[in-house]
Amino acid sequence: MEPTDTSAEHTEGRETAERKSRLRASDILSAVRFAAESFLTSASLAERIDEVLERLGEAADVSRVYVFENELTRDGELATSQLFEWVAEGITPQLENPVMQHMDYEEMGLQPWADTLSRGKVYETHLENFTDAEVEFAEPQGIQSFLFVPLLVEGSWWGFIGFDECFTPRRWTDEERDALQAAGSILSAAIQGWRGREEREQLLREQRALTQSAWQRAAEWEAVLASIVDGVWVIDPGEQVTFANEGARRLFELERADDLLRPCSEYDAFAEMLDMSDEPIAVEDLPPCRSLKGEPVTNQAMKIVLRNTGTQKYVRISSAPIHSANGEILGAVAVMTDITESVAFDRMKDQFIRVAAHELKTPVAIMKGYAQLALRGAEGSPPAQLSRLEAIDRGSDRIARIVQDLLGISQLQAGGLRLLPKRFDLVKLVTKTVERVARKQPDRTIDLEAEEAPISIFADHERIGYVVRSLLDNALRYSPSGEPVEVSVAPADGSAQVKVRDFGVGIPADKQDRIFQPFYRAHTDTPYDYGGMGVGLYISSEIVRQHGGRMWFDSREGKGSTFQFRIPLGEGDELGAKGADRR
């Protein structure tokens, strides 16, 4: 007896299975095309659904195909009910089974279905992977495998179409799964089309009813607009205001809303229009005029100064073009909200941060002083006591840095940092900063490469020291203790350049664009989340910018980061006068 070629048999069996899968997928797609053609000529879902489900079930070679629609229970919980079903010969129908109606996902332990399907994903499982809840659901029906395809209507999860296999545990191939998803897409589109058709028919009925009571509706509509606190305007293509409500009248403190029915160019008679930097806004740049050119504007903050009273108001305005059925711009609508109180609150909040930071400076300095005094007199003290004193000293340093950051943020939000430039040696500043940090972290290696000759710059000594310290702290925080951090300082074309390089975790590419934004931390909710407020790089980049320099970086995730900044050397007292006023 000759030995069998098991490898050849296995290959032949696999190829046969693949051919069957491709044929089945092709049959499913044919059924999908049949469904599309059927739904195009049907007036409702029920009219052709039974025939479509039968074609899909036979093509997919499954035991049962069904459609479920989502609903809300009286308690507002998400549930689902079976609407339609096809079953193969010998399979017990479930359409009349009361269990299949008003199934509360969470109550029945089937929340994983909802979690997966609501995200537009296919849910598929088999007998050996059934949860206890799925066993309780499937066992009475003899189900060994099932696959659900979500039905999405107008972007929302409407329900699902399901495919059961009751004879053997079924594992669908990618081709079959793609074909079944196509069936779900066709059914979703059909449901959306029928719903849209029903809505259009309902709209026509409503329009007929509205025509019969047009004057009454118009009066009611004007009453509604009059009651809206926000100002509402409608502008025609010629920039003529054709409607303004009572909210608009109140914003401009006029006697009659009709006074506002004039061209946009004449609104300068009512108020001066300014941006948030107190720069005048040209008529063509006003949001309604921009919307007449097709541009939607969302929440643009502005300042208006009323001519008749001198009152200053801060407003937020949104506007959008009004299109005809063929896309022609018929006008624009604008809504203006008074945010004066909100702006005042934000400024009060900024002032509170400034005051709180200033108030904290003195007690923190006292705590730091006592901690250092206690440490100097703690020689020979028990290690535990010495450790506590060192913890107090480190804590006071951290609070001092937080206070400094809060002051920096508040000054930036108020319009800019106050620079106090003087001439000093940048090499000396960087060297002392490195030595100070190295003393506090003796287990870390910091390699400094610096020119022997001084690099004299005219800048704010304290602010530039903050920048160097911030970059160095970040490099040490986000790199392993066994890896060195490299620091260099050198002259560069009439400027001075400082570079800090680490070999740490790096910054993900998709987060690098935001790294200089305030309160942004690239490693939030990751294993590398080491705390902090996320303001150091923002403040540092602003300090460099206000010195006329720039900061940049290069980073690769898992390889480390290199941060660099370059600032001009400065030109004596003239730069000092400019820097002192730079806010």
More confident residue, 392 or 12: 392
Looking at residues 12-18, what average pLDDT do you find? Answer: 63
Angle at the Cα of 396 from the Cα atoms of 392 and 397, rounded to 5 degrees: 120
Percentage of residues of the chain with pLDDT beyond 90: 39
DSSP-based three-state secondary structure for 332: strand
Pairing of strands 156-165, 145-153: antiparallel
Using 50, 70 and 90 to split pLDDT, how confident is the model at 8?
low
Class of residue 259 by CB neighbours under 10 A (exposed 0-12, middle 13-18, buried 19+): middle
At 446, list the tokens: 């910091």
Which amino acid is residue 346, in one-letter code? D
The contacts of residue 294 (CB under 8 Å, 6+ apart) are 321, 329
pLDDT at 135 over 90: yes
Pairing of strands 446-450, 421-425: unpaired
pTM of structure: 0.42
pLDDT at 1 over 50: no
pLDDT at 583 over 70: no
User: Rg of the chain's alpha carbons, rounded to an integer?
Assistant: 35
Q: Choose the CATH number for 224-338 among 3.40.630.30, 2.40.33.10, 3.30.450.20, 3.10.28.10.
A: 3.30.450.20
Mean pLDDT across the chain:
83
Using 50, 70 and 90 to split pLDDT, how confident is the model at 576?
very low
Phi, psi for residue 146 in degrees, rounded to 5: -150, 155
At 555, list the tokens: 């980073």
Percentage of residues of the chain with pLDDT beyond 70: 85
Q: Which of 181, 419, 83, 262 is nearest to 254 (CA)?
A: 262
The Cα 495–Cα 207 span in angstroms is: 72
Q: Give the CATH architecture of domain 421-581.
A: 2-Layer Sandwich (3.30)
C-alpha 83 chain-centroid distance: 37
- What does the domain layout of the chain look like in residue ranges? 18-198, 224-338, 344-413, 421-581
Quickly tell me which residue has 């010495």 as its tokens: 386
Burial 127-156 (b: 16+ CB within 10 A, else e): beebeebbeebbeebebbbbbbbbbbbeee
User: Model confidence over 417-443: pLDDT tens digits?
Assistant: 778 899 999 999 999 999 998 988 888
Question: Where do the H-state alpha helices sit in 311-460?
Answer: 340-376, 383-413, 426-440
Task: State the angle between helix axes of 45-60 and 6-40 in degrees (0 to 180), rounded to the nearest 10.
Answer: 170
Of 44-58, 93-107, 239-253, 497-511, the range with the highest mean pLDDT is: 93-107
pLDDT of residue 536: 80
- Residue pair 191/149 in contact by the 8 Å Cβ criterion: no
The Cα 448–Cα 443 span in angstroms is: 16
At 189, list the tokens: 């589109």
C-alpha 370 chain-centroid distance: 45
pLDDT of residue 319: 92
The CATH code for residues 18-198 is 3.30.450.40
Please count the other Cβ atoms lying within 10 Å of the Cβ belonging to residue 490.
15
At 135, list the tokens: 């066993």
First to last CA, the chain: 96
C-alpha 194 chain-centroid distance: 34
Looking at residues 339-368, what average pLDDT do you find? Answer: 75
pLDDT of residue 578: 41
Looking at residues 280-307, what average pLDDT do you find? Answer: 91
At 344, list the tokens: 């005042």
pLDDT at 257 over 90: no
At 228, list the tokens: 């809206």
More confident residue, 408 or 554: 554
Please count the other Cβ atoms lying within 10 Å of the Cβ belonging to residue 56.
25
The Cα 419–Cα 543 span in angstroms is: 9
Q: Is 522 left (phi over 0), alpha (psi -120 to 50) or beta?
A: alpha
pLDDT at 31 over 70: yes
At 17, list the tokens: 């299975």
At 172, list the tokens: 């669908």
pLDDT of residue 573: 42
The contacts of residue 142 (CB under 8 Å, 6+ apart) are 91, 92, 166
pLDDT of residue 420: 87
- Weakest-pLDDT range from 29-43, 296-310, 321-335, 419-433: 29-43
The contacts of residue 299 (CB under 8 Å, 6+ apart) are 316, 317, 318
Q: What is the DSSP letter of 252?
A: H
- Can 18-198 and 224-338 be said to share one CATH topology? yes
- Weakest-pLDDT range from 115-119, 222-226, 423-427, 515-519: 222-226
- Residue pair 544/551 in contact by the 8 Å Cβ criterion: yes
Phi, psi for residue 76 in degrees, rounded to 5: 80, 15
- Residue pair 537/513 in contact by the 8 Å Cβ criterion: no
Using 50, 70 and 90 to split pLDDT, how confident is the model at 581?
very low
The Cα 548–Cα 199 span in angstroms is: 61
Of 45-54, 107-116, 193-202, the range with the highest mean pLDDT is: 107-116
User: Model confidence over 516-532: pLDDT tens digits?
Assistant: 877 767 666 666 655 56
The Cα 512–Cα 522 span in angstroms is: 8
Sign of CA dihedral 439, 443, 444, 449: positive
Please count the other Cβ atoms lying within 10 Å of the Cβ belonging to residue 565.
25
